[in-house]
Every structure is written in structure tokens, then in C-alpha cells.
Structure 1
């Protein structure tokens, strides 16, 4: 019986031992299976893995940055709007927010968080996932999207683990954090922390506050779900979760957490799209410049640079502050001017056009119709011309430009063409005459809706702004003084050849004549007959030769005396460069916009070398400047001296002008073309020359009277507002001093004692300026 009992007792023990062996065999098999799975994954059985080179140099598109002269990014070219920043540029609270929220044991593991993985497995993810920052980086860099299959997702996770451990072997923790911040897509064209900081808060990452950092870190969970522009309430809640995590891991105190959670998001959305943001027209110029430069400057291996993905840095002459002030000044004045223009067109049956026939109106609209994107698209689709024209007469929903902000409306495409023709356009360029550096470039009022650049591409008649070139030629050739006098009487010049002679007899605006006038008075008041006398003395050819040396394209400029009144078409770019010659003591410096180009590693690929040319003597330049100072002392630019404004709001802003109150020396010239189609103002102080043009897209779009259509009303206010903003910013150091007087000056420029012989010179009012 004892033996039987002993055998009965041993049987359970053998059973237990067998179960233990089975367990360990299964455990070993499981471990072996896991090891095998990892080995198979590492061998690429479940999909290719990155090689050593890829791990050390992960492929990514880097945006090309356009950098202002004051070191600010004003635009980018990109497939992905990514600009990498170093670890040192990341604030400490940004890093702590990420670690507290995404990977609390980041500094303790080697790519895989074992504790987190077990927790996720046991609780099936209900108490949080186990994906480390290294795994998330691996997913961003080297793994692709998979289907919803659990098996495929499992293999994907294994690949992430393997890549994560490899990344940990190759990079430091700081490098992994930096790559993760630089790689993540924060939406709204913000790829990487640099773009996200600027787009959502208009500041660099180093300037982010704890609250702002928490919001951006909160987006790492799912940027589509936590999109600040679409779901601000949800993003606020997520930000507060991040702040709670920071408090949980003792990165901030409970008091700080509570105070930060009470704050709003504080978004300052700043779009960086190609059609939006600052200096859009200049950025398009830079794109064209880079396209030409890339053609002529291949890489060392013979391949071409890619402006959208090579991470180039384009250092420009544009000053971000001055560019901002220029755009603000244009918006402020043009919005007011447009109100007056629209008001005057209410009873204009041919609005927005004037002084043209019905047939000419139809021609303008038909030409615009055939140049439109709609026409080109339908033509490609094989539509007949009849069907295309019919589609332009069908009403549809559309979003159109308005000074108060884009508005939704319903109109026919043909009516939208007429509507856009009614919008007044403008351009501004500002440069330092001594260096040729362009500080501000505004090619139009809104690049999204009006892409044609009116700084360099567009050319228009320049009116009286051409007259200083005639005066300068006379001073250079005949040593004339601003105090020399000429009769203000009708004057005719014979033109033509070989029996085809005819007379050119320009008239003064308003028909004002009488007495002898000084050259300074004549230029200040834009007296046409005096300018005609001068060009008759010097001849058109020397004037054309002069402006050619100053950078003006004269190929199509006729050798005719009528050019003296500004009949040629010239770009604002050329005009500012030419006027700068006067301010720079007779030396022309070609306008420069691109200072240098660097690759992503900081290697200089291009360095600008200024192009200069001696054109006129410093004496001639100074005397011409002195003449133009008379325009703001007693001519059509006198309103720049006003310290007050009168009348109703529209009259005050458009006619009388804003209360500028400038007291410093200013040289300039207004200009107005036939039928008031174009208004110009060229203004100079010793270290800044700025030109402004205002007009319609078509010359038939204009004001009915010179009162509103002259350069002093249309363009001068933009210059005045811009300069007031510049002077209010002492960091810009815009000069308020006198122009430099040559030591060898032999021509008298002080005409304060001059009086006409009869003391009966009739002063020409401001509203008549041609």
C-alpha cells in the first residue's frame, strides 16, 4: 500500500515537470519565432529596409529660402516647405514638451521602449501606445503607408523597431530629436518646426513660448485632427493635455500649468504660399533669376540644382521692414483711391473705360477673354470657339478680389473681366543709390489676382518724370543754371524730313503762359513749353544717349522732340535706376536684388559684383537734384510739406493728401500721361530713391479729370506714406540730411532772389501736372 501511495504522489510531480518543460519549449519557440521574424524583417523579407547610406543621409526635400538683408526669411520655393534648424535653435521647453507627451523614457531606451511595449500589449493600447520618438522618426523617414490589414500593420511595426534601433546606433539623442522636429508635417504648408513656427506664430522656433511649443507638440499626435485653422477648440484641448504632461513629469509647476492652460492659442497665421505673404512679386522675380542662374551654373557632378528641393539660400537686398511699409502704404492709399474711382464710374456708361468707342471696348474685353485661363483650358478640351464664348456669358459662383477682402459672388466670366479691368493697379520700387541695393519691390496690389509685375516687366508712358533727363542734358551740355530764365510762351519745333516737315507745338496744362521763368520754376510746375525749348537746343539724341547710360532700354525710343514730355514706355525698374544716378553724384549703379546664393551646407555659389558707370559729372547731378528739390518746395510735390489735411475723408486722402509734414530736403518729380492714364512720382533723399506708378491695366481705365488723375494725387501719396513709415523706424537710418554738395560747384543753384521781369508769372495749380 505504501508503494502504491508513493507512486500516486510521484505522478503529479512528473505531470508538473512535463508542463514546465512544455512551457519553456513554447517560450523558447516564441522567442525564437520573434527572433526569426526580426531576422527575416532585417533581411528584407517583409519589405526593403534602408541601407547604411540612407540611414546616414535620409532623403528629404529642403525648401530654398529667400532671405532679406536684415536676415529674415521672406519667402520659400519648395515641394515641401521644410527648412532644417539645428538642435541649439530649439528651446528647452519645446523639447521637454515633446518628451513628456510622446516618449517620457526617451533618454533611457535604445529605440524601443520595452516597458511601454509590454504595457501596450497587456492593455491592448488602452493606456497609451508604445511608439518611441525614434520609431516615429523611422516611420516618417523610411516606412510607407500600409493597408488596414492587421498582419501588414504588424510587419510595419517590426520594421519601425529595427530602423529605430539602427537610428539610435547612428545618431545621438539630440540629433534624433532635431531630425524629428525638422521632418514632421504640421500642415498648411508647414513642414518642420521652422516653417510651423513662422506660419502659426510668425516667429522663429527659438522665440516660441511654452504655450506655443505645447500647441505645436500637440499636433504630433495627428496634425489633420489637430489643425489649428480648422479645429481651434480641439487644438486648445490638446495643447492643455501637453501642458498637463509637462506638469506630470515636473517640467513645469502646477501653478504655471494652470496659468498657461487659461491662455488662448494666440495664433498669428502667416501664410507662406507662393501667392501669399510678403514680397510676392519680388519672389517671382527671384524664381526667374534662379531659373536662369541654374541653367548656367551646374553642380560639380554636372547635374542641375533644384530650387524646390536642394535647400538653397538666396540672400537678397530686400529689407523686410521697408518691404512691409511699402506694401502697407500702397494698400492704404489705393483702397481710398479705388473708392473715389468707383464713385466716379457710377454714372459712366462705358465704365470702367473712358474716351473710347464701343468697338474699342469690345476689342479690349475679347482680347482679355482669349488670354484667360478659362479660354485656354476649354480650347485644350476641344471646345468650339462658339461654345467657349457662350460659357463666358453664363453666370457662375466665383471668388473675386476686393479691397475689403476676397468676396464670393455670382457673375458671368465676361463680367468678371470687366470688373477686374476696373481695379486700379500700382507698383513701387525703392533702392539705395550708392550701392544699387533694392530695398522694396511691390509689383502690384495683389499677386494672387494680378500676377503681372509692373516694376520690371510692365512698361508705361512716364509723362513729366522724363523731364529731368532733358534738363540734365542741358545743364551738362550748356552749363545752364536752375536760375537761368526762358520765356513761358507757346513754342513750336519743326519735325520730319524731305518735304514732310510739320510742327510740334506742345501746350501747357491749363493753357497757362506768360513772362520769363527760371528753369527751377519751370520744372517744379511742369511747364511743357520750357521743356520743349530745352530739347530743341540740345536735340533728342543726346537725351536718349544719356538715359541709355542710366540703364533705360532705348531701342524703341524715337528720336523725336516729343520724348521730352514723357511719351516713351519705360519700366519703373529703369526709372528708379536712372534717377539714382542723380542722387549718386552722377554714377549709375545697376539695381541689385540678389546678393549671394549658398547651398544647404553654406558654400557660396554666387556672389554679386556691383556694375557701375560714370554717366555725368557730380556737378551736373547735383544741379539736377537741386532743380527737382523745387518740385517739393513750390511745385506739384509741395503737398509733401503739408502738416494738416482738410475736407471730407475722400477728398482729404485722395486730393489734399495725408498730413506728411516732411521738412527735410526731398527731390522729386510727378508725372501724368495723356488722358490721366498713368500717375507717377519719383522721390529722392540722399540714400534712398523710390518710384511709384499708379494706373489701370488698360490706358482706357482712368479718371475723368486731372484733379484726380495726376501723379500728385495717384502716386505721390504712396511715396509719402511709405517714407513716413521709414522715417518712423530709426533702425532703417533713412537720411533726412541735405544732398552732398560738390566742392567744385560752379553753377548757381540758389534762385531765391530771382523775380520775373514783369512780376506777373501765373502759378500753375497742382491739379495741372503733365
Structure 2
């Protein structure tokens, strides 16, 4: 017996020494982490001044959140704004002893050690407290090989202890909810609430709160957008936990458990959500403004991390209606367009496709890398699975880069802007058919020939110069110096027919527009255009037919003068920028031309002439096809070879400009019937107006009426819509010269006029 005791002593000593050595190693290991040998541990000063990147938010005129600019989608929310059932759901599910520990729950850790490690019971939970999770959310985890889990857990425990020393329990909950990652790359409860339920966190109901808390266990696995059934089951587990720990009564639990999972999912990425083209333009402008500003630390503001607030003029509801109208129209127009081209479509001609392919950026890049033509074509024709845009639903298909280029060549595109004429405030902005696949903005970036939408400027200059609106002009073609012979579209006109300016404008007669320009003088027309806010135009007579190039936004600002007593405006869409604390960094005001571009009389004459365009001219389908009874003036436009279709709609309180066409200037519409502005662009405006007519909220626009023209203006426009040359006029009069209103006095006067006016 004594021999055994003697033999055991060395073993006990060895065991004790080993244990002490192990404790020493563990202690040194812990101290090495504490002292930062495995990575910096934030000190109290840093933890007291936590900085997290916050997304910049963009708001409509009504305060609706329409988009964000971010690297991490995060917005802060105050603890006081969090509903109690959200807090209860988190504590019941993630850390029921949250108020009883100081960052580390020893009882939970002991439970995990015994049940999970010794008894292999995975249902015991993870032992991680809300404060430990906050530490992980704030500083992430690094890779230390096999020691990663140990090192990271110890680092988080040190940080958690320091957080508990600095912050109250309520402040820790607030920090947690503002940093925790949710599904779909969303950070913080405010961003998650707005993304999945389109509501601020303060208004989350019980079921919504439980759904979001439930995703924290595994944000992808329980993503309510991707796996709604799985997410609903997890939500009910959260509700069960709330009942278990007394946060819910059995009755409330039973009621909440039966509720369906109802999402109102919102996308705020660059390509998704409402008004992506508008938000893209706003971002450019805001970044330019931020380049001129410095924060309190003397550093430039960052649109992606500083949590700014950008307020705009956009009307959220009108924007939704405009996007719907564009989608309805363009999806149908695309079908007619492809059907009209048939097998002769440019994108089906291999020679043309190869030419476009060789002009592409990807081809040039490969060529610059030294690849031969055959090698480049081989690379561009290798097929792989890719998603292609289609109006009937995007498709995953096996296609090459060359196939993709050919596919996208066929699509028509559109740009539509609606603004308030008195201020230039932009109410809706649709820059294309799909921002993800067509990012070129056809409102602000695209500059195309404006076609017949320039003709009202010519007639405005004429009326302003004193030319009687009832002056008659012959429709006959004339060849001008240089061999230029403007022609009319459509059926051939009777060369002996004469029209007053109202009829000529409403029916968009090219030959008369040019004659009016020569009558009033090219320089007068150019000056009139400049006063109306048009950019500098080329001094060529062909501008009468709209050969000048402009963006839809520029055209809208100029046309606003007709509804704003002669004063042009610049499109205006950002009202102010604030920092995350609510301090105003910049404010902006409308830019309205001080000088009226024309008189009140001219204004009334032109409105009446453009109302005639809608009532019985080229835009008459607004009345007979779409049944619109609103007070509308307007002008259609179609450019040479049917490359561009335009429509400008004017109401007393809204000016709308729409362009439709292809991105490749070489591809036009196959015929005037389908490509004319009345068919390609006008329907988008018509559908928008119909939708607005159905919504009483827009009565301020839809029910507005132009002021009645003065008796003087009514007399000025009191003329026959057409007049054909009689026998003597056909015999002696050159039909390409204007006929005055005074000439309508009977045969004797007409004969007398023939010999007294040099054939005019």
C-alpha cells in the first residue's frame, strides 16, 4: 500500500505541473489576444465613437424613400423608435438572459459545454449573447487557421466586456439592431424593414418583427423572399419563444401564428426599384455638389458611407404610373416593330451584325490585346448560360457575346420626362425600358434630332414678328439655293392647296414650315429659340424641320414656356441635401427665365394652334383612340428615315416630352406608319394621362384648363382651315408664296391682288 502511494506522487506532481502549464499557456494565449498580437482589439475610446458606413437615402417630394446609394445597405434607427415586440422577439430568441449578464452568459456557456460538447446535443443553442454578436457584427472575424474559432470567440468576449462597460443595455440593443446583417445584403433593422415590408422599423407589426428576427439564425436559409415557407416556419418558432418566456399570451401567439407571410419587397439597388434612371442622374449631381463640401473633420463627404439624405421633386405615384405606361406601350410597340421588319430586320443581316460586332468595345479590347480577327470572333462566339432581357420575361439561355449583342440590337427604347412648367420641377423621369440592361439615359444623356417638335418655335417667331396667323401658304414643294427641296410625308398634297399657319402646324406640313421660316427670317427664328431656352442651334434653314439635336430634358424646359407665360425653365429635381444629423448641406431653387420669350397674345395663339394638333391634327388619336378629354396642346415629331419619334404634351400644369427609337442611329423604324411620333411616342403619354385621370389625387393636373383666348386672338384665328387656288390664281400666282388673310374678299379683290402684289 505504501509502495503505491510512493509511485503516485510523481504522477500527481506531473499532472499538477501539466495542468498549471496548460493554465499558463492558456493564460498567455489569452493575454496575447488581449494585447493585440492576433489583431488589434479596439480600446474604449474607439468603442465610444463607433462609426459605421451608412447608406445615403433619396426621397420623393412626398417623403417616400425611392432609393439608396451604398456599399452596405444600412440606415440607423434610434432605440426609442424600436417597437417593444421587436425587442422582445430578439431577446426571447437570441439571448433570454440578456439583462442578467455582462456580455458573457456563463450559464449558457456551461450549458453549451455540457450538452453540445459532452452530450452531443445540438439543440442546446450556441451560447452567444447579443453583446457577443454585436462585437462580431462590428469587427467581423479573421482567418487564423485551425485556431480561428477560438481566437475570434476570445476577441469577441473581450470586446463584449468593454461594450458592456461603456453602453447601457438599451444602447447595446440599439447598436445591435443597427449593425446586424439581414437577408439580401441588408444591414440594420431599418433597411431590412423597408426592403422586405416597405415600412419603417418603428411601424413593424408583430409578425413582421418576428420574421426579421427569425432570419438572424441563417439569413440566406431563412430569406423570406427566396424561401417564404421556411421563413414562416422560423417566424413561428420566434413567436413560440416569445410565448415561452412570457412576452406573448397564448391567445396572441395562436392568432399571430395563423397569419400568412406577406412581403412588400422593395429593391433599392442601382438597377432596381422605382426611378432607377432618375436616381442615377441624381447621384451624379449630388456627387458633384459633395466635391465642393467638407465635413466637420475637413474631409469630403462620401455618398456611399455618410448616411446623407437627398430630397427631390419626384412625384412617387406619378413615377409609378409613368413606368407602367411605358412598359405597357413599349412591350406592344416592340411586337409591332419586329413583325413589321420581318426577315429584313437589320439584326438578322449577318453583314450588319458583323460590322456592329467589330465596332463593339469588347471586340476592340481583344484586338488591342493582340488577338487576330479569327481568334476574336472565336472568343465572342463561345456560348455559355446567360440571362437575356425579354418583355415576356427574362430567359436563361445558352448564348455567346455575339448572340447577346445581336439580341439587344433589336430593342426599341424610350425616354419620358414630365415636369411642372411654372418651376421646372421634375415629376417623373423614365430614361429607358430597363436600367439593368439598358443604362443609357434617354432623358438626359441621349441627344437626338427633334423633328417637327421644333416647328412651334418657327410659328412662334412668325406670330411674334407680326405675321397674321391666317396668312395662307401653299403646300407646293420648292427648291431652295443649294438644291434643297423639303418634302411632305404621307400622301402627295394638292399643289394648289393653301393652308393658314394653324392648319399647317396641326398637320405638320413640312413645306409650309420652311416657307414660314424664310418669311420671318432664319435669324429671327434662331433668336426666338434662344429666348425659349434652346441651346445654340446651327444656322441652317433645315432646323425648321427639326434637324437640331437635343435631349428630352432640354426640350421639356423650352416647351414649358408655352405653359408658363413665355418663361422657359431648366428641369429642377434636387431640392436639398442633408447630413445624417439633419443639418442642411445644400439647397437648390428653380431656374426660371426672367424675360418672357414672347407676348401674351403670341402665347395664346400658339396654345390654340397646338390644341388644334390634338383636336384634329397629327395627335388626334389622343381624342378618338384614347378618349382623353383633358385640355391638352401638343406636337408630334418624326425625323428623317423614321429614326426618332417624339411627342410633346402640354397641359396647364404639366409638360411631358417623350422620345422613342433605337440606340443605334443606323436602325430606324421600318415605316412612317409605325415610326411617326403619333404612334411611337404619343401612346406613352396617352396611357399616363388615362391612369392619372383615374386617380383623384391628380385632379390638379388632369382637370386644369387653359385660360380662354382673348377676343383679339379669337379673331386672329378666325379663318378657313384651307383654301384652294381658283382659276386665275392657278394661272398667274406662284403657289409657293403666302396668301394673306385680306385676300379673302371676293373675286374682284383677288384679281386686283394678282396685279398689285408681284405674284405673292
TM beyond 0.5: yes
| Residue number among 452, 465, 474 corresponding to 2:462 in the alignment | 474
Q: Which moved more, 1:118-127 or 1:165-174?
A: 118-127
Aligned to 1:116: 108
- Structure 1 pair 624–753 and aligned structure 2 pair: CA distance change class (3 A): closer
Aligned to 1:78: 70
CA distance in 1, matches of 2:228, 2:308: 34
Aligned to 1:714: 680
Aligned to 2:671: 705
Unaligned runs of 5+ in 1: 1-25, 496-500, 643-656, 761-770
Q: Which moved more, 1:209-218 or 1:727-736?
A: 727-736
CA distance in 1, matches of 2:436, 2:25: 59
Aligned to 1:201: 197
* Cα offset, 1:102, TM superposition: 1.0
* Cα offset, 1:744, TM superposition: 8.1
1:681 aligns with 2:647: yes
Secondary structure of the residue aligned to 1:304 is coil
* Cα-to-partner distance string for 1:218-249 (whole Å, 9 max, x where unaligned): 11122133233444443232212111111212
Any conservation in 2 of the 1:618–1:742 contact (CA below 8 Å)? no
Aligned to 1:624: 606
Secondary structure of the residue aligned to 1:435 is coil
- 1:206-225 correspondence to structure 2 within 5 Å: 206-225=202-221
CA distance in 1, matches of 2:546, 2:321: 29
CA distance in 2, matches of 1:502, 1:343: 37
Any conservation in 1 of the 2:486–2:510 contact (CA below 8 Å)? no
* Cα-to-partner distance string for 1:463-489 (whole Å, 9 max, x where unaligned): 1111111111112121644xx141343
Secondary structure of the residue aligned to 2:136 is helix
Any conservation in 1 of the 2:346–2:352 contact (CA below 8 Å)? no
CA distance in 2, matches of 1:479, 1:750: 10
Aligned to 1:267: 263
Any conservation in 2 of the 1:82–1:195 contact (CA below 8 Å)? yes
| Residue number among 130, 135, 142 corresponding to 2:127 in the alignment | 130
- Structure 1 pair 220–759 and aligned structure 2 pair: CA distance change class (3 A): farther
Q: Which moved more, 1:742-751 or 1:441-450?
A: 742-751
Aligned to 1:610: 590
- 1:644-659 correspondence to structure 2 within 5 Å: 657=625
- 1:276-291 correspondence to structure 2 within 5 Å: 276-291=272-287
- 1:27-38 correspondence to structure 2 within 5 Å: none
Aligned to 1:564: 544
* Cα-to-partner distance string for 1:448-473 (whole Å, 9 max, x where unaligned): 11121111111112111111111111
Any conservation in 2 of the 1:432–1:439 contact (CA below 8 Å)? yes
* Cα offset, 1:694, TM superposition: 0.9
- 1:389-538 correspondence to structure 2 within 5 Å: 389-478=377-466, 480-481=468-469, 484-492=470-478, 494-495=480-481, 501-507=482-488, 509-513=490-494, 514-538=496-520
CA distance in 2, matches of 1:442, 1:749: 41
Secondary structure of the residue aligned to 2:701 is coil
| Residue number among 349, 371, 392 corresponding to 2:360 in the alignment | 371
Aligned to 2:248: 252
Any conservation in 2 of the 1:493–1:536 contact (CA below 8 Å)? no
* Cα offset, 1:53, TM superposition: 2.9
Aligned to 2:743: none
* Cα offset, 1:492, TM superposition: 2.6
* Cα offset, 1:61, TM superposition: 1.5
Secondary structure of the residue aligned to 2:465 is helix
- The alignment yields a C-alpha RMSD, in angstroms, of 3.2
CA distance in 2, matches of 1:53, 1:746: 79
Aligned to 1:8: none
* Cα-to-partner distance string for 1:698-724 (whole Å, 9 max, x where unaligned): 244333332222111111110011122
| Residue number among 285, 291, 306 corresponding to 1:295 in the alignment | 291
Aligned to 1:94: 86
Any conservation in 2 of the 1:466–1:566 contact (CA below 8 Å)? yes
Any conservation in 1 of the 2:468–2:716 contact (CA below 8 Å)? no
* Cα offset, 1:413, TM superposition: 3.0
- 1:36-75 correspondence to structure 2 within 5 Å: 42-44=34-36, 47-75=39-67
* Cα offset, 1:352, TM superposition: 4.4
Aligned to 1:5: none
Aligned to 1:104: 96
* Cα-to-partner distance string for 1:83-128 (whole Å, 9 max, x where unaligned): 2222343333222211111122323333233443343344347422
Any conservation in 1 of the 2:85–2:209 contact (CA below 8 Å)? yes
Any conservation in 2 of the 1:676–1:709 contact (CA below 8 Å)? yes
Q: Which moved more, 1:132-141 or 1:86-95?
A: 86-95
Q: Which moved more, 1:204-213 or 1:67-76?
A: 204-213
Aligned to 2:6: none
- Structure 1 pair 410–153 and aligned structure 2 pair: CA distance change class (3 A): closer
CA distance in 1, matches of 2:37, 2:668: 72
- Structure 1 pair 70–753 and aligned structure 2 pair: CA distance change class (3 A): same
Q: How many pairs align?
A: 704
* Cα offset, 1:573, TM superposition: 1.0
Q: Which moved more, 1:282-291 or 1:438-447?
A: 282-291
CA distance in 2, matches of 1:144, 1:267: 32
Any conservation in 2 of the 1:318–1:439 contact (CA below 8 Å)? yes
CA distance in 2, matches of 1:379, 1:92: 63
* Cα offset, 1:255, TM superposition: 3.4
- Structure 1 pair 275–369 and aligned structure 2 pair: CA distance change class (3 A): farther
* Cα offset, 1:278, TM superposition: 1.8
- Structure 1 pair 714–545 and aligned structure 2 pair: CA distance change class (3 A): same
| Residue number among 550, 555, 577 corresponding to 2:532 in the alignment | 550
| Residue number among 183, 188, 205 corresponding to 1:187 in the alignment | 183
- Structure 1 pair 156–734 and aligned structure 2 pair: CA distance change class (3 A): same
CA distance in 1, matches of 2:367, 2:541: 46
Q: TM-score, normalised by structure 2?
A: 0.85
- Structure 1 pair 254–375 and aligned structure 2 pair: CA distance change class (3 A): farther
Q: TM-score, normalised by structure 1?
A: 0.84
